[in-house]
Structure 1
Amino acid sequence: MSASLTLTGITYETAGRTLLHGVDLDARPGETVGLVGPNGSGKTTLLRCVYGTLRPAAGRVLLDGDDLTALGPKARARRVASVPQDSPGEFELTVREIVAMGRAPHKRFWEQDSASDADAVDDALDRLSITCLADRAFPSLSGGERQRALVARALVQRPALLVLDEPTNHLDIRYQLEILGLIRALGTTSVLALHDLNLAAYYCDRIHVLKAGRVVASGTPHEVLTSELLAEVYEVAAEIAVHPVTGAPAITYLPPA
């Protein structure tokens, strides 16, 4: 299951400041689309406008042509799953219970979990390599373990659109690669914010670059990730090569002169 996402003219303002300036971007069905840009560029704010914790001052968020801002929380959650950057640790629930929460949008109030729900939870725990954590209390987990549990919850939700804000945050290299590989293999339309440009280059079909709340470049990794753009947006010198194994752009940062 996948869907097309279209953002048109997204503007967000708070406390007299404009954080997003008429952002337009899209994600095609089944694509993995990356948002990159320096800290404060608007990545998290834009994702929150997509999954509904912030309401834009102007613009539209369309999923297969339907305005997501017009949907109620439960209807939106049937179609969009999110993994935020910072996971709250105060849930007094086990990992299995946290992951099972992903089935809630598809169930009536007080409806008990079915055998198929339990199977979906078991499958997600296994795919994220956290079956051994199933009975652990969520607050007792490390940051990386919490992140994997929240990704598992999003998988169980079975959305048409998956929105992830720094999904590799707190993870060691092995789990960074496993989670990004899993996201690509799902076939779901995915939009994710990433700091690591080499990961974005390899795992994303297309990349949108944000700077000061505006999209300054969009395209494939080869089109977007150039030394000129990195100098303009990140103010760093870098050499861009083609990785001999993956064929993706490979970025080497150079020390200041």
Structure 2
Amino acid sequence: MTTLRTENLAYGTGEGRHLVDAVDLSAADGETVGLVGPNGSGKTTLLRCVYGALRPTHGRVLLDGDDLAALPVKARARRIATVPQDGHAGFELTVGQVVAMGRAPHKRFWEADSAADAALVADALDRVGIAALAPRTFASLSGGERQRALVARALVQQPSLVVLDEPTNHLDIRYQLEILALVRELGTTNLLALHDLNLAAYYCDRLYVLQGGRVVADGAPADVLTAELLGDVYGVAAEVSTHPKTGAPTVVYLPQDRAQPRASA
């Protein structure tokens, strides 16, 4: 059982500006929770506080009741896997070696990879559709291929919580759908930031809407994604309906110059 909770979480800069401000968030065991909001709303900063890249200036992050700030780095890495927004392209390692790095939290510093480790890597590469790229250097991959390699690295880490920052970045439509479906099939508790509201509505159990570093709405996608909220938070006109096949809310954006029918001549 894996539960995530943030309590009054805040992260501020030296100038007194709060990028994340008083955020209370939860994710139940096996739940996929999405963060949505416009650019600069605090999604990435919040995720970095959750997985430990940033130390909150106030509040705390609890995983199964344990304060993550009190855990050693390696112990935290055994429980949380991270898929960042943009994979660094400078690695001279091969794709297979980058994915195998996911086993590091489970091994001693000098411990070599075992046959079981190699099998986990091969399976993860196959599951994200890049098995043929294993001998290539990570730096030679396209943005979408790098993103899938980082998802594979998270798979071999065998975490209980997966934190993903825009996991569909650079991916074509097919792989966007496949990666998010794979995340849901992991059986882990998942926290992810997404820009695409239709993907968030379909693949997330609950959503938190951020604006200016604060949570302005949370709940099931159908309760959160309303035309009124999209107008307030994103400043756009939109229509929200229930898709007849998926049952999920579907957002259609209305360009400002075409929001109203044009009068006939």
Which bin holds the TM-score, normalised by the shorter protein? over 0.9
Deviation at 1:18, TM superposition (A): 1.1
Cα separation, 2, equivalents of 1:212 and 1:86: 23
Superposed structure 1 runs of 4+ greater than 2 Å apart: none
Query: Are 1:251 and 2:254 matched, yes or no?
Result: no
Deviation at 1:62, TM superposition (A): 0.2
Alignment partner, residue 53 of structure 2: 53
Query: Are 1:80 and 2:84 matched, yes or no?
Result: no
Cα separation, 1, equivalents of 2:196 and 2:21: 24
Structure 1 residue runs of 5 or longer lacking an equivalent are none
Aligned counterparts, 1:115-130, within 5 A: 115-130=115-130
Cα separation, 2, equivalents of 1:174 and 1:255: 26
Alignment partner, residue 261 of structure 2: none
Please say which structure displays the higher CA radius of gyration.
2
Deviation at 1:194, TM superposition (A): 0.1
Determine what percentage of the aligned residue pairs are the same residue. 71
Aligned residues, how many? Answer: 256
Cα separation, 1, equivalents of 2:12 and 2:172: 35
| Secondary structure of 2:256's aligned partner | coil
Deviation at 1:253, TM superposition (A): 0.5
| Secondary structure of 1:78's aligned partner | helix
| Secondary structure of 2:111's aligned partner | coil
Alignment partner, residue 153 of structure 2: 153
Pairwise CA RMSD: 0.7
Deviation at 1:15, TM superposition (A): 2.9
Spell out, residue by residue over 1:15-46, the C-alpha distance to the aligned partner (whole angstroms, 9 max, x if none).
Answer: 31111111101000000100000000000000
Structure 1 stretch 165-174 or stretch 7-16: which is displaced more? Answer: 7-16
Alignment partner, residue 163 of structure 1: 163
Structure 2 residue runs of 5 or longer lacking an equivalent are 258-265
Cα separation, 1, equivalents of 2:101 and 2:10: 31
Q: TM-score, normalised by structure 1?
A: 0.98
Aligned counterparts, 1:19-30, within 5 A: 19-30=19-30
| Secondary structure of 1:26's aligned partner | strand
Cα separation, 1, equivalents of 2:81 and 2:183: 12
Amino acid at match of 1:107: K
